[in-house]
Chain A
Amino acid sequence: MTEISMAQALNAALRDAVKDDDRVLIFGEDVGPLGGVFRVTDGITADFGEERCFDTPLAESGIVGFAVGMAMGGFRPVVEMQFDAFAYPAFEQITSHVAKLRNRTRGALSLPMVIRIPYAGGIGGVEHHCDSSEAYYTHTPGLRVVTPGTPQDAYDLLRDSIDSPDPVIFLEPKCRYWAKETVSFTRDGAAMDRAVVRREGKDVTLIAYGPMVATALETAEAAKAEGWDVEVVDLRSLSPFDDETVTASVRRTGRAVVVHEAAGFGGYGAEVVARVTEQCFHQLHAPVLRVTGLDIPYPPPKLERHQLPDVDRILDTVARLQWNDEPAVAGA
């Protein structure tokens, strides 16, 4: 077995889905001969034809709205939004229609479709290429929102998402596209809806997802030097939320820190903190803290390192979890 990158794992998932199910169609901007700006759809048009993977006019609302119609017509569209901030023209279609059609039609119509969005920062992209938009989508009932942190999960989650009868917002962490691992293409079907413990530890649980999984794992290694045994939970599915896995972990460790790249205020981490607090209150030795992006518009490339949570910022936060029965310091 050879190691492949996350982009290649996604490509394999798309190919296998197209092969296995005639209803699966891939379309979007530059996904055809170019293979997408990140090459995730590389070679699919050449191998399966224009009928299965094709370029559309440049219009995100058009792409998603068209996909709604095609899904109503019996296909399973997998569409690509070129970058996170460029999905916003489609926001109306996603929130008002993709998310609600099943409910509005009392189950008569369903929308099995996947909206793939390269998302988050860390790649030195200029303005509008690095938004973390998960909270907009997770706040919308009717959508499933998933994000892989590893190539294996990229393969499994994308296949599961394409099979899902409900619409899925599939957030691809751009900075992990080139990360490699050995991937097996036999699906165990367990990725969807389930968080996973990526690393076991007994002192504190780091809850991360997508681009921050790798950073959380790095932090766990670095924490050993401080004598802290850190557990890392990778959420994978942001909506629905896997309370079971997360709660079990926090109950074991008694401490938790949520890490994400998106701005903290009104962000996804607040939801995680609330749920963990509600369900683990009596086991918690300290308040659940967050390490997030700053509450500023995503900065220009030269300054993005100050925006992104890094090992130091996470370790500093872990240190504030009352290790010596000292009173907890309120978060900055």
Chain B
Amino acid sequence: MSRETLAAALLPSPVPVRFLAEDGTRVDEHGGYTAPPPDRLVEAYRLMVLGRRFDVQATALTKQGRLAVYPSSAGQEACQVASALALTDADWLFPTYRDSVALVARGLEPGEILTLLRGDAHCGYDPTETRVAPQCTPLATQTLHAAGLAHAMRRRGEEAVAFALIGDGATSEGDFHEALNFAAVFKAPVVFFVQNNGFAISVPFEKQSAAPALAYKGVGYGVRSEQVDGNDAVAVLSVLDDAVAHARAGRGPVLVEAHTYRIDAHTNADDATRYRDPAEVEKWRAADPVRRLETYLTNENLLSGDDIERFRAEAETFAAGVRDTLNADVEPDPLSLFEHVYAVPTRQLAAQRELVAAELEAVEG
């Protein structure tokens, strides 16, 4: 390929890929993409209903003091669910603190997802079993891990892909740029999925980056790039399916930017009225991804009123389970602090373990 054709092949669509208008009607802004089959869309819808309910439940649990903190992904359900659906069990997911709903969609136990935010343990699930890396808090650092793991899998002859989630703000970190470059140079099968939800805590996108879209950031590194309407589940799923297939086929990494919006504050501890206009939030509520897909599927006769009722009921039961799990008071064992600091236990920690054990005994009498 000539340099010009190569560059053109990397360029994102000039407007975000989109299949559905805000009112759920079909639009033709999807370039060469094909819509996923109906059963896949219905499954996405089911998981989005579940994910939204989970998010509402987790937010409520912070108010009751059951969770230390919860970063909501309300409004980002299309991105969250499609991230899980685009992957096979063999693929690895690298989520951030905000991506709990993606983990729900991947089938992880809510109690295990929420141990981090509840304050029990830094990671409540087994990453090797679930192929989900610990939810990452230091921004953008996981993108390099995803690139490295993707390269490792390829070296070992596995067909699997690493899928890294990252926010718009975190794309300013050096690690993100290093990850794109490494992935491109090594042709690692990794998909970088940016959920541009408009804000990094209080900083709006215009103050974060002067790029016309974050999707353009891939091109300079030689990474194929795309942008998509993040509130259109049909489009997100279609673009991510394609990106994963591209990486899986050994054609190198892909960067996808989803244009979406953070409906709630950064976390329950944040006051969003300090930095944004409630009218803006209302505008975005009209672009709700769950309702949009529901309308489309209903109009196409792919989803009946009964189906919707069934999914909602399932979500209620699920939420009740989350509540029960979180309401059970399980105190983590203080002596577990000394486990897994090293593979080979040290004498130093054994001595400190004794100190804490003696303190516990003194308290318990």
Contacts and interface: CB of A to CB of B under 8 A. Distances in A.
B359 A124 contact: no
Interface in A300-332: 300-303, 306-307, 312-313, 332
Given A33-B274, A55-B203, A294 B352 contact: yes
A300 B331 CA distance: 12
Interface string B31-68: 00000000000000000000000000000000000001
A86 B172 contact: no
Given A35-B274, A306-B337, A127 B122 contact: yes
B119 A302 contact: yes
A58 B338 contact: no
A296 interface: yes
Contacts, number: 115
23 contacts: A29-B200, A33-B202, A37-B270, A55-B207, A57-B172, A57-B208, A58-B173, A61-B173, A61-B174, A88-B138, A89-B173, A124-B68, A126-B116, A126-B137, A294-B338, A299-B337, A300-B115, A300-B121, A302-B118, A302-B119, A302-B120, A306-B334, A313-B359
A58 B140 CA distance: 10
B208 to A, nearest CB: 5
A129 B116 CA distance: 13
Contacts of A128: 137-138
A58 B205 CA distance: 11
A240 interface: no
Given A35-B274, A62-B172, A265 B337 contact: no
A4 interface: no
B352 A295 contact: yes
Chain A binding surface, main DSSP class: loop
A34 interface: yes
Contacts of A58: 139, 169-170, 172-173, 200, 203, 208
Interface in B317-357: 331-332, 334, 336-338, 341, 348-349, 351-352, 354-356
Residue from the set A55, A58, A302 with the largest chain B CB neighbour count within 10 Å: A58
A223 interface: no
A301 B138 contact: no
A317 to B, nearest CB: 11
Interface in B224-281: 270, 274-275
In the A-B complex, the 7 residue pairs with the smallest Cβ-Cβ separation, listed nearest first, are A301-B119, A34-B202, A57-B172, A58-B169, A58-B172, A59-B172, A128-B137
A85 interface: yes
B25 interface: no
Nearest to A305: B334
A150 B203 CA distance: 31
A145 B231 CA distance: 47
A312 B359 contact: yes
Given A128-B137, A306-B334, A55 B202 contact: yes
